[in-house]
Each structure stands twice: as structure tokens, then as C-alpha cells.
Amino acid sequence: MLNKTQLLQHYQQDYELINKIKGWCEQAHRGQVVNTDFLDLRQIAILQAILAQANITNYFIHKPLTNGFRATVSFNAKHDNTVILHAKQPTPHFFQHHQVLGFILNQLQLEMRVFGDLYITANDLYLSVLKKIMPVFINAPLIIQKNLLTWTINPAPVVIEYQFNVFVKTVKSLRLDAVVSALCNVSRQQAQKYVEQNYVYVNFSVVNNKTFQVACDIIISIKRYGRFKINAILPSTNQHYRITIAKFA
């Protein structure tokens, strides 16, 4: 959950989301059933903060893939508007995450809000989507790089099993540029360029504010370097901080 300081940092770039949430709140107060599109962890944190202020408690969070990062929310009814799709990895080709995601975004021209987590293993692909776009995937096989992917509805729960490489870094500051510098093993100046050039995502949204304060449990994604979760932050000597980091393998 984001704290108040982090929420304020995000609010500056989330006016559209906040206006949507206000609309959902008005509908919920009138007793209407509301189903949202997919939201990421940051958006859900902002949503929950606003719902708490509005005294709205009759809502449900639906996370199709256990341990996933994306979910939908329903108000005034426990109505899950998502479905999990499954496809087998083609042989001998092995699809990686960016190949499938790139096809969905660029070739199918679908927006991020209509699909959730994509989980890929050695043998299988799992994708959570809104039920309303399910026909796009199951009515005909998708051809990605001359390989057929045939999607079917997966009725059973799916648990994402992550693998992590855990390590510790010491930083002088919890500013985003200082942490990025440590994560990428680059100079502070280079890290600032990464932030300014929109290479850095915090909880799956671009953050180009180099003074953003890093906290526990946030996820930092850096283009070409990978995705990192901040597990713990402890004071060290000489006003430094020891950060325990889990890098997604």
C-alpha cells in the first residue's frame, strides 16, 4: 500500500484516473453495480485511498492470477468480469513475455486496461483479460512470428510462481535516482538520465521525478535492466541505507 507521501507524488500524473474514480464513487453511492477495467498496484492503492475518504466499503478486488500485479474492482456486487486464457508454448519456438505483450499491444492494438497479467512458463502461457474481449483471442488462433497460439478458457486457478535473485545495496539517499544508480551500477548522472527519459517505472507507471522517495514493497522496473522489488530498507552507518532487493529472474 502506498503511503500518503507516495500518493501525493502519483496524484500529480493521475488526474484522469482520479476523475474516473470519482465517477465510480458517485455510481456506487447510487447503488449501481460498477465493474472497472484492469488496474495496476499503484492505481488500486490510489483507488482504495479515495474510497476510504468516500466511506465506500462495498467493493471487491478481483485478481485472476494469484500473485499477479493487475486486478479489476467491482462495486455493490461480487461480479468478476475477468477470465483466464491458456495457450501451449509452440515447439520448438519459445515465446518470451515481451514478444507476446508486444503483439497484443501493437498488432491487436489492445489497451493495457483490458488485460491483466501475462504469465509464461516453459510449457504454457496464461493471460487474464476482460470477458468482453475474450472473443479476440479464442475465435481464431493468433499468429505470432509465424507460430500459432490457440487460446482456450482456463477454468482452474493459476498461481504465478516467481523466482528472485536477492541482494543488498547501500545507498546515500532514498531518492529514485540514487536507487536506480545502485540497481543498474551506473553513475548518479546516468541514473538521472534514465529517469528523465522515462526508462523507469514505479509500480508499473512511468515516474520521471528523480526526487521520488523509494519505500518498501514498491516495484521498480528499468528498461534493459529488469524488474526489482524493494523488500526492506534499514538505516546504515553515516546516514546511508541498506536496501534488500529482490530481482525478478
Q: Which three cell numbers stand for residue 232?
A: 526492506
Residue 39: which CATH number?
3.30.1370
Q: Are residues 19 and 92 in the same domain?
A: no
Secondary structure element (H or E) that encloses residue 146, with its range: none
Tell me the whole-structure pTM to 2 decimals: 0.73
Same domain, 39 and 106: no
Phi (first) and psi of residue 106, to 5 degrees: -95, -45
Query: Considering 103, 129, 159, which residue would you say is the last residue of a domain?
Result: 159
Domain residues for the domain of 144 are: 82-159
The cell for 104 is 497484443
- Tens digits of residue pLDDT in 8-47: 555 555 778 888 999 999 999 999 999 999 998 878 888 9
Give SS3 for 159: strand
Please tell me which residue, 42 or 128, carries the higher pLDDT value.
Answer: 128
Cell of 202: 514505479
* 109, 130: one domain: yes
Specify whether 32 is located in the same domain as 97.
no
Instruction: Based on the fold, state whether residues 187 and 119 are members of the same structural domain.
Output: no
Q: CA torsion angle for 182, 186, 190, 191 (degrees, to 10)?
A: -20
Residues 169 and 154 in one domain: no
Cα–Cα separations (whole angstroms), residue 140 to 81, 134, 137, 248:
22, 11, 7, 33
pLDDT-based confidence at residue 2 (cuts at 50, 70, 90): very low
Total count of domains within the chain: 3
Mean pLDDT of the chain: 88
Residue range 160-214, pLDDT digits in tens: 988 788 999 999 999 999 999 999 999 999 999 999 999 998 887 788 999 999 9
pLDDT of residue 1: 43
The grid cell for 6 is 507516495
**Domain with 240 in it: what CATH number?**
3.10.290.10
Please indicate, yes or no, whether residues 94 and 31 belong to a single structural domain of this protein. Answer: no
Residue at a domain's end among 75, 100, 118: 75
Residue 140: band (very low, low, confident or very high) from pLDDT cuts 50, 70, 90: confident
How far are the Cα atoms of 154, 177, 233 from residue 4, in angstroms, in the given order?
38, 21, 18
Q: DSSP assignment, residue 112?
A: G
153, 172: one domain: no
Cα dihedral 7, 13, 19, 21 in deg (nearest 10)? -40
Judgement on whether residues 93 and 27 belong to the same structural domain of the protein:
no
146 and 179 share a domain?
Answer: no
Query: H or E segment at 167?
Result: strand 164-171
Q: What pLDDT does 12 receive?
A: 53
